[in-house]
């Protein structure tokens, strides 16, 4: 008995290594990577759209990191990630399976949701990732309409803490791909996803990027909402044809296009981007992914013009004028000043406009004053003296000969 106990208590010999133990060590070394801070406008746009509680659809070729981006976003937002491959499910998996109860005539036939939907409801929050959306047949896409818009799966409603993101491959690279139906496409913010060569090379070398996510400023929330409403309403008031424009071809209807629903989404994105202080490039990406390229380019351009100075204010005090730094906005301001003089011409306003052109020449690119100066010179009336400011512009816009001819003609008439 004692010999047996001694044998049990004595240290056993080391267990022999299993065939895959060394392979596991090598895999652990390959997974041992570091991160570095790096700005990522695509991830910033995706984060803002998810924060705004809008369904997002990532378009990109297979294998370029769409799933990896969603995993990184879920970790950063502290949301559990639930992945559902849309193309391998039946319509009933999203509409719900009928379950007959004790008395269907009284209680009806409830639609039972799948287990992943039940888990999301129990958690109260999460990121629902609908992958391979473009390979889902039309019947499944129709069943997804209610999931995306009403957040209902059978008789179950997803809680407000659940966000929805989908991914799709272009039809040319999707296995048995389908174009998205127009009603489903119009419910998404469409973001194009592509790989970054430098990021891939550095990541394979062991250093992957770590992006800082946008943060909303609580103090700017009322201002952001007011600005977004003003920007969208100003554009649609001037361009009523942009309110609803269904593309004529099937491929266009499967992407972003303007409708009252998508303009409401765009307004929300403008408010979120303004509150977060994001760049115009990120905002333009979001808006174009909601209402399409044409309207999506017009809206940011119109937003830039909302804060431009009033031409009458500039004409009243040219010496104190502050002109925009951006060349396109400065050109708009100078053209507006010339049009204000055209609308109400007099000698003092004409002289003030010349003073503004000189100020623009001193603080920006000379070529921006060429067209406004030529137009302003043509507005000269009989008896108006040519201001000395014209000489300052002579070298840049070659107006000296025109001013001399105008002065000579005035002398002959006198």
- Burial of 358-392, coded b for 16+ CB within 10 Å and e otherwise, reads bbbbeebeeebbbebbebbbeebeeeeebbebbeb
Q: Is residue 28 part of a domain?
A: no
Q: What is the pLDDT of residue 55?
A: 94
Cα dihedral sign for 301, 303, 307, 311? Answer: positive
- Domain with 68 in it: what CATH number? 3.40.50.300
Helix axes 41-51, 66-76, angle to 10 degrees: 60
pTM of the model as a whole: 0.74
Tokens of 222: 């009322």
The dihedral region occupied by 221, where left means phi > 0, alpha psi between -120 and 50, and beta the remainder, is alpha
**In-domain check, residue 166:** yes
Residue 84, Cβ neighbours under 10 Å: how many? 19
Per-residue CA distances from 276 to 127, 129, 233, 280, 307 (Å): 21, 25, 21, 12, 18
Residues 137 and 239 in one domain: no
Q: Are residues 297 and 337 in the same domain?
A: no
What is the domain count for the chain?
A: 3
pLDDT string in tens for the chain (414-residue length): 445 545 455 555 666 778 788 899 999 999 898 888 888 889 899 999 999 999 999 998 888 888 888 888 898 889 999 998 888 888 887 877 777 666 666 666 677 788 888 899 999 999 999 988 888 888 888 888 888 888 888 778 999 999 999 998 886 665 566 778 888 899 999 999 888 888 889 888 888 888 788 899 999 999 999 999 999 998 888 788 899 999 988 888 889 999 999 999 999 999 999 999 999 899 999 999 999 998 998 898 888 777 778 888 888 888 888 888 888 788 888 888 899 899 898 888 988 988 888 888 888 777 788 888 888 888 888 888 888 777 777 666 554 445 445 545 545 454
The Cα–Cα gap between 144 and 93 comes to 10
Output DSSP code: residue 403: H
Question: Do residues 141 and 247 share a domain?
Answer: no
DSSP helix/strand/coil, 147 = helix
Backbone φ and ψ of 388, nearest 5°: -65, -20
Residue at 236 is within a domain = yes
Contact between 165 and 130 under an 8 Å Cβ cutoff? The reply is: yes
pLDDT at 146: 84
Domain end (from 137, 170, 187): 187
Q: What is the pLDDT of residue 327?
A: 82
- CB atoms under 10 Å from CB of 393, counted, come to 23
The residue range of the domain holding 325 is 311-413
- Per-residue pLDDT, 133: 86
30 domain residue, yes or no = no
**Can you say how many angstroms the Cα of residue 34 is from the centroid of all Cα atoms in its chain?**
29
Q: Are residues 156 and 135 in the same domain?
A: yes
């Amino acid at each position: 008995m004692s010999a047996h106990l001694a044998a049990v208590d004595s240290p056993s010999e080391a267990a022999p290594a299993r065939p895959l133990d060394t392979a596991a060590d090598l895999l652990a070394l390959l997974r041992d990577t570091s991160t570095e801070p790096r700005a990522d406008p695509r991830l910033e746009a995706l984060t803002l759209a998810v924060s705004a509680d809008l369904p997002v659809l990532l378009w990109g070729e297979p294998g370029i990191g769409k799933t990896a981006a969603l995993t990184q976003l879920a970790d950063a937002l502290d949301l559990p990630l639930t992945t559902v491959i849309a193309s391998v499910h039946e319509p009933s998996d999203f509409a719900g399976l009928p379950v007959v109860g004790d008395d269907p005539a009284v209680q009806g036939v409830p639609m039972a949701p799948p287990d992943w939907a039940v888990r999301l409801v129990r958690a109260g929050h999460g990121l629902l990732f609908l992958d391979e959306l473009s390979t889902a047949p039309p019947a499944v896409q129709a069943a997804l309409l209610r999931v995306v818009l009403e957040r209902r799966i059978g008789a179950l409603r997803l809680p407000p803490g659940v966000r929805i993101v989908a991914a799709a491959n272009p039809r040319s690279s999707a296995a048995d791909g389908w174009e998205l139906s127009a009603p489903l496409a119009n419910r998404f913010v469409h973001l194009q996803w592509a790989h970054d060569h430098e990021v891939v090379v550095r990541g394979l070398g062991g250093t992957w990027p770590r992006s800082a996510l946008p943060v909303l400023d609580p103090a700017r929330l009322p201002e952001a909402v007011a600005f977004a409403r003003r920007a969208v309403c100003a554009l649609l008031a001037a361009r009523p044809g942009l309110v609803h424009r269904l593309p004529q071809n099937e491929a266009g209807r499967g992407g972003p296009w303007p409708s009252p629903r998508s303009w409401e989404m765009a307004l929300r994105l403008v408010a979120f981007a303004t509150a977060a202080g994001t760049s115009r490039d990120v905002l333009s990406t979001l808006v174009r992914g909601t209402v399409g390229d044409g309207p999506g380019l017009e809206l940011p351009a119109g937003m830039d013009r909302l804060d431009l100075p009033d031409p009458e204010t500039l004409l009243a005090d040219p010496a104190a004028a502050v002109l925009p730094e951006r060349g396109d906005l400065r050109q708009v301001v100078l053209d507006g000043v010339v049009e204000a003089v055209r609308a109400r011409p007099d000698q003092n306003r004409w002289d003030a406009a010349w003073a503004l052109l000189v100020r623009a020449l001193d603080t920006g690119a000379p070529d921006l004053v060429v067209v406004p100066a030529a137009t302003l010179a043509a507005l000269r009336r009989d008896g108006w003296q040519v201001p000395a400011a014209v000489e300052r512009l002579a070298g840049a816009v070659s107006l000296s000969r025109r001013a001399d001819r105008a002065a000579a003609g005035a002398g002959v008439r006198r």
